[in-house]
């Protein structure tokens, strides 16, 4: 299976919505096709921790009745969507991948869910995630690990791995995840999808369980830039218009494009740069000297920002090992690491300044999304794998660079690695407010309309 081919009976979000609006397909039929995929694949992939078949069927039938009555539906008419398990859906438990969360149903929908419903999307279920969003592999969940649909021995990325796996396997055309330091973009890269971490504040966060306030954002994942653009427009409530011209100047941060990347990643990245040049882009090297320290600064700053959530998480005997470890680390930093936190804040300041300087001379920045393809899950590592330092890499070392500065970024697929046949992601980043430009160039790169 590849993530680019929708399973029989399913299709992308735009085509589905168009067909439902025109009366060419009924929403119930669309939903049943996706529920069949869930029934066939979810036991093995474990992308979804809750499937609301009854509620989804009721919503689909109500939509079909409105269409039959001549009422024009919304932009996501009949499109099945899954949401990450840290996003409130009224009447459902927001477990956030944790056995320690109280089994209390959310009183109302998160604002982003309200906007999906207003656009006539069909809420199909809840996606698995790393416990409390603290991980990059979706294997710290109390509900068990999620497996990459393209290779079940491998991680789909995290912490929004369930969202990505659901889309890549055809359970839903669209999914919502959350991204703090790469938790939408990494799963997109590892599963061959498109995923965006928008400008900070672009999407409302009411009803979304926080990880590190000031860093968190909701982000959609889909099979195409067009689908992700459509979801983004629904969530912001307006059309996005790019200001990019035909001659786009791109900066390539040298610190993110060197030997720390797997050879197969660099091979595809070099090919991607040639494609961008062929599209009329001017590609220049730029330098972000502080970028190599970005991951360390990110871990310190977000761990302390996450302390309120961590404290709640460890007040139960069911807290997972990763949550306990992070709480101990964050609490120690708060008590004894003032100098370390000040140094991390300085690095964040310098990295933001360096990125702004690079973007003052360029429209966007471009790099690999990750230095590797999807790593093996812990349970599938062999003794030989454990001798390979790249078997368990810090996969978010590039994505945190843009997250620290609050810069939006988009991951799009740029082929597969010749080493293992797994997807490789290309990351486009820009100044705050450049979301439409990122989507426009991403569409251009993939040869989609609207680029």
pLDDT one-digit tens code per residue, 165-201: 999 999 999 999 999 999 999 999 999 999 999 999 9
Instruction: Give per-residue pLDDT as tens, 234-265.
Output: 999 999 999 998 899 999 999 998 778 999 99
Do residues 247 and 281 make contact, with C-beta atoms less than 8 angstroms apart? yes
Buried b (16+ CB within 10 A) or exposed e, 297-321: bbbbbbbbbbbebbebbbeeeebbe
pLDDT of residue 53: 99
pLDDT of residue 239: 96
Average pLDDT of the residues in 319-346? 92
User: Crossing angle of helices 111-118/225-236, nearest 10°?
Assistant: 110
3-state helix, strand, coil in the chain (%, to 5): 40, 15, 45
Model pTM?
0.95
Portion of the chain with pLDDT greater than 90, in percent: 83
pLDDT of residue 381: 53
Do residues 122 and 59 make contact, with C-beta atoms less than 8 angstroms apart? yes
Residues with catalytic annotation? 84, 159, 183
Rounded to whole angstroms, the Cα distance separating 282 from 297 reads 31
Count of residues in the chain: 451
The per-type count for the chain, helices as H runs and strands as E runs, is 14, 11
Average pLDDT of the residues in 101-129? 95
Distance of CA 310 to the CA centre of its chain: 22
CA diameter of the chain: 66
Average pLDDT over the chain reads 93
Instruction: Give per-residue pLDDT as tens, 263-300.
Output: 999 999 999 999 999 999 999 999 999 999 999 999 99
Give which of 2, 67, 71, 85 is closest to 28, Cα–Cα.
67
Is the pLDDT assigned to residue 109 strictly greater than 60? Answer: yes
pLDDT of residue 387: 47
Portion of the chain with pLDDT greater than 70, in percent: 94
Hey, CA dihedral for 85, 409, 265, 2, is it positive or negative?
positive
pLDDT category at 15 given cuts 50, 70, 90 is very high
pLDDT category at 383 given cuts 50, 70, 90 is low
Of residues 412 and 377, which shows the higher confidence score?
412
Instruction: Give per-residue pLDDT as tens, 129-144.
Output: 999 998 899 999 999 9
**Complete domains list, the chain, with CATH:** 13-236 (3.90.1300.10)
Give the pairing of strands 122-127 and 80-84.
parallel
Long-range Cβ contact pairs of 5-11 (< 8 A, separation 24 or more): 6/170, 6/173, 6/223, 7/33, 7/37, 7/169, 7/170, 8/33, 9/33, 9/34, 9/36, 10/34, 10/37, 10/170, 10/173, 11/173
pLDDT category at 436 given cuts 50, 70, 90 is very high
pLDDT of residue 300: 94
Is the pLDDT assigned to residue 389 strictly greater than 70? Answer: no
Beta-carbon count within 10 A of 75 CB: 17
Average pLDDT of the residues in 42-64? 99
């Amino acid at each position: 299976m590849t993530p680019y081919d929708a399973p029989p009976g399913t299709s992308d979000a735009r085509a589905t919505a168009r067909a439902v609006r025109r009366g060419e397909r009924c929403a119930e039929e669309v939903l049943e096709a996706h529920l069949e995929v869930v029934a066939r694949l979810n036991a093995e992939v474990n992308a979804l921790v809750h499937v609301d078949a009854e509620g989804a069927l009721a919503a689909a039938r109500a939509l079909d009745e409105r269409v039959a009555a001549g009422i024009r539906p919304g932009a996501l008419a009949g499109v099945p969507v899954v949401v990450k398990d840290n996003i409130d859906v009224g009447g459902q438990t927001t477990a956030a991948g944790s056995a320690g969360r109280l089994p209390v149903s959310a009183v109302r929908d998160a604002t982003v869910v309200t906007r999906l419903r207003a656009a006539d999307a069909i809420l199909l279920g809840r996606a698995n995630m790393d416990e409390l969003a603290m991980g990059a592999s979706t294997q710290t969940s109390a509900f068990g690990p999620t497996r990459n649909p393209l290779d079940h021995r491998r991680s789909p990325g995290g912490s929004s791995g369930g969202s990505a796996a659901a889309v890549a396997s055809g359970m839903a055309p669209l999914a919502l995840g959350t991204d703090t330091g790469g938790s939408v973009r990494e799963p997109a890269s590892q599963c061959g999808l498109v995923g965006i971490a928008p400008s900070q504040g672009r999407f409302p966060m009411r009803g979304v369980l926080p990880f590190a306030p000031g860093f968190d954002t909701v982000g959609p994942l889909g099979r195409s830039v067009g689908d992700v653009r459509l979801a983004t427009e629904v969530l912001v409530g307006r059309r996005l218009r790019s200001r990019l011209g035909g001659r786009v100047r791109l900066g390539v941060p040298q610190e993110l494009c060197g030997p720390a990347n797997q050879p197969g990643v660099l091979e595809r990245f070099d090919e991607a740069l040639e494609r961008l040049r062929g599209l009329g882009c001017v590609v220049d090297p730029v330098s972000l000297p502080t970028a190599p320290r970005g991951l360390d600064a990110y871990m310190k700053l977000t761990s302390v920002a996450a302390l309120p959530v961590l404290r709640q998480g460890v007040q139960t005997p069911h807290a997972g090992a990763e949550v306990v470890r992070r709480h101990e680390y964050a609490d120690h930093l708060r008590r004894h690491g003032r100098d370390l936190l000040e140094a991390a804040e300085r690095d964040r300041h310098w990295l933001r300044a360096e990125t702004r300087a690079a973007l003052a001379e360029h429209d966007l920045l471009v790099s690999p999304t990750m230095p590797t393809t999807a790593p093996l899950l812990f349970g599938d590592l062999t003794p030989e794998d454990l001798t390979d330092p790249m078997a368990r890499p810090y996969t978010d070392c590039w994505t945190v660079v843009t997250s620290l500065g609050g810069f939006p970024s988009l991951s799009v697929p740029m082929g597969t690695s010749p080493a293992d046949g797994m997807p490789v992601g290309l990351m486009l980043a820009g100044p705050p407010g450049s979301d439409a430009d990122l989507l426009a160039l991403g569409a251009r790169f993939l040869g989609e309309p609207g680029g």
